[in-house]
A and B are shown apart, each in its own frame.
Chain A
Amino acid sequence: EAGVTQFPSHSVIEKGQTVTLRCDPISGHDNLYWYRRVMGKEIKFLLHFVKESKQDESGMPNNRFLAERTGGTYSTLKVQPAELEDSGVYFCASSQEVVNTQYFGPGTRLTVL
């Protein structure tokens, strides 16, 4: 069974540009989560989808971040325009039920110059 995959693995962009990160969850997992780790600090929750609906987006830092999950399969996280403080590693995770173990992808390392 394929695990959670994320694309790209690394992205380097300049301040003001737009970047779109993609996450493909484990097949059949209705719950999809985005997290971020900035500068060696703790991993912080961004948002949670149940199928195509946003269940909780309380961790989204501001309106420069837009997450979508069309059709309840893969998800994208767009940052527009990117700022220096957006640099970090963005993790995606999925689970079958909300109370189940979350399985993480390898992360996307975003560097904003």
Chain B
Amino acid sequence: GDSVTQMEGPVTLSEEAFLTINCTYTATGYPSLFWYVQYPGEGLQLLLKATKADDKGSNKGFEATYRKETTSFHLEKGSVQVSDSAVYFCALGPSYGKLTFGQGTILTVHP
């Protein structure tokens, strides 16, 4: 079945550092790929998405490219801020409606 593997956290960075959170997937067919973010005390928010191979999703300075050859969708940001501290979830789907999530990566950014 479908599955998503994220790099284990937590990830701790200083402000303005470069961020990469790795995400690889296993899926049948051609799923869409997503990054969702959960800020402290809030619900899940869609951060970015890509619907086909080689698409790049981007939002708020974050980027991820749908790499079919490596089955990856790594999240990157060139310069993180304290306000980026959150839990990040990689997901694929929808497969007949449902999303399949990774386990989440906690990011903490220090001033």
The interface of chain A, by Cβ under 8 A from chain B, is 4, 6, 31, 33, 35, 37, 40-45, 48, 50, 55-56, 59, 91, 93, 95, 98-99, 101-107
Tell me, yes or no, whether B103 is within 8 Å of chain A by CB.
Answer: yes
Contact pick for A33, options B4, B36, B98, CB 8 Å: B98
With A and B bound together, what is the CA distance between A102 and B97 in angstroms? 9
Contact with A along B21-43 (1 / 0, CB 8 A): 00000000000001010000011
The answer to whether B98 and A48 have CB atoms under 8 Å apart is: yes
Dominant SS at the A interface?
strand
The answer to whether A98 and B94 have CB atoms under 8 Å apart is: yes
Query: Chain B: interface residue count, which band?
Result: 20 to 34
Contact pick for A42, options B43, B94, B96, B101, CB 8 Å: B101
The answer to whether A42 and B45 have CB atoms under 8 Å apart is: no
- A59 in contact with B98 given A91-B44, A103-B46, A106-B43 (CB within 8 Å): yes
Cβ–Cβ < 8 Å partners of B104 in chain A: 37, 40, 42-43
Closest Cβ–Cβ distance, residue A99 to chain B (whole Å): 6
Which residues of B, 44-86, contact A by the 8 Å Cβ criterion? 44-46, 49
